Amino acid sequence: MINYGRQFIDDEDIQAVVDTLKSDFLTQGSKVPEFESAVCDRVNAKFAVAANSATSALHLACLAVDLKEGDIVWTAPNTFVASSNCALYCGAKVDFVDIDKDTWNMCPDKLRIKLEESKQKNLLPKAVIPVHFSGQPTIQEEIYKLSKEYNFIIIEDASHSIGSSRNNEPSGSCKWSDIAIFSFHPVKMITTGEGGMALTNNEEYAKKMDLFRSHGISRDSNILEKNDLPKYYYEQHSLGYNYRMTDIHAALGISQLRKLDKFIDTRNKIASRYNTELKELPLDLPCIAEGNKSSYHLYVIKVKDTFSKQKSRDKIYSELIEMGIGVNLHYLPVHLHPYYRKLGFCDNQYPVSENYADNALSIPIFYSLTKDQQTKVIDSIKQALK
Ligand SMILES: *Cc1c(COP(=O)(O)O)cnc(C)c1O
């Protein structure tokens, strides 16, 4: 089976992990700060806070901006549940903004309309969490403009988009946001096994995330209430968690980051071959907005509505699995999960996301996907769409 995504680990990665295993510190050593500053340099952000997953980092971001009961957060329905769960952890209420039918990202026009309507009803969001779906950046400068007009915080779920850019601005630079989150799960562009990172240019947010990541405990003399104390002394100032990344994971991350350019380059080459070879089929292919460079975390094909009446996506899905092509769906819209339905969401609320989810398939794309495997993917899709 050719999976839709997989990690690429070389001898350098393995050596980096082994070296850390043989060192004095498996956690809270020098590797995490080293990884954080390497990512900051790479994406042009001032501060980074590594965490044991992107889900934890999203939660840290929500805590840093002080989300709490009574607050409202909006995200896109077409995402992994973590983009929305993080707000629920803080007791906030979640709502969604539907996606654009071409880019499959949160639609800035729909966002504006929903903001106008919500202003009348006094239901404006405290934070909006746009997701750079599949690695394609959202039209972030427009969302940013709206954030100034309607006074909301932006937390980018950039789990798919390390290595992407918009108008040459790297994803994660936070030029048009307050905080951005990367994921280092093995199917993402670079991996630490499990891991995530929050990027920000706001020092106060960075300090808060750092505190919340480690129990709310500090030894920083600028923060401590008492002074002139022995080195063992620390104070807990807020109710934090243990969301720390280990040095073993960070060592892998540092080594993986060196390969990011090559990973993104290859993913773009594969995408471009798919664009050419699949264009005659009854499919909507990824539509990359002007100014965007995608990391191509995912390559999604969407069966055209006219064709899906003849043959359903699920039938195509089964046939491709049968042929050894590990296609997948990203995503079942968040609001349609049983947990969210219990919160009051239902069918037909976000029609573009729902239509997308009825017809989309993520096909294999990753650095080590060979030319022959690509050919097999292409031929199998042609076969299934006959
Ligand atoms: C992968 C992913 C996450 C969660 O990442 P983890 O590191 O697995 O916690 C969050 N949001 C999106 C959009 C993702 O794809």
Q: Which of 50-64, 217-231, 240-254, 320-334 has the lowest mean pLDDT?
A: 217-231
Q: Does residue 11 surpass a pLDDT of 90?
A: yes
Tell me, what's the pLDDT at 57?
99
Residue 184 structure tokens: 């280092």
Which atom of ligand 1 is closest in space to residue 133's alpha carbon? 13
User: Before 317, cis peptide (omega within 30)?
Assistant: no
**pLDDT > 70 fraction of the chain, expressed in percent and rounded:** 100
Per-residue model confidence as pLDDT tens digits over 212-248: 999 999 988 888 888 788 888 999 999 999 999 999 9
Per-residue model confidence as pLDDT tens digits over 14-37: 999 999 999 999 999 999 999 999
Q: Residue 52: pLDDT band by 50, 70, 90 thresholds? A: very high
Beta bridge partners of 94: 73
Ligand 1 lining (C-beta closer than 6 Å): 53-55, 79-80, 82-83, 131, 157, 159-160, 183, 185, 196
Which atom of ligand 1 is closest in space to residue 58's alpha carbon? 10
Question: CB–CB of 376/385 below 8 Å?
Answer: no
Rounded Cα distance between 101 and 304, Å, is 12
User: Which of left, alpha, beta for 131 (phi over 0: left; psi -120 to 50: alpha)?
Assistant: beta
Instruction: Say if residue 22 is exposed, middle or buried (CB neighbours under 10 Å; 0-12, 13-18, 19+).
Output: exposed
By most ligand atoms within 8 Å of CB, the mutation choice from 183, 249, 295 for ligand 1 is: 183
How far away, in angstroms, is 121 Cα from ligand 1 center? Answer: 32
Rounded Cα distance between 386 and 382, Å, is 6
Question: Would you call 15 helix, strand, or coil by DSSP?
Answer: helix
How far away, in angstroms, is 101 Cα from ligand 1 center? Answer: 22
Tell me, what's the pLDDT at 261?
98
Rounded Cα distance between 208 and 352, Å, is 37
Rounded Cα distance between 299 and 368, Å, is 15
Tell me, what's the pLDDT at 248?
98
Tell me, what's the pLDDT at 223?
81
Residue identifier of the C-alpha nearest atom 5 of ligand 1: 54
Report residue 268 CA to chain centroid gap. Answer: 18
How far away, in angstroms, is 76 Cα from ligand 1 center? Answer: 14
Beta bridge partners of 284: 302
Average pLDDT across the chain, whole number: 97
Exposure string over 86-122, b if 16+ CB within 10 A, otherwise e: bbbebebbbbbbbbbeebbbbbbebbbebbeebeeee
Q: Does residue 165 surpass a pLDDT of 80?
A: yes
Tell me, what's the pLDDT at 370?
98
Tell me, what's the pLDDT at 337?
98
How far away, in angstroms, is 235 Cα from ligand 1 center? Answer: 32
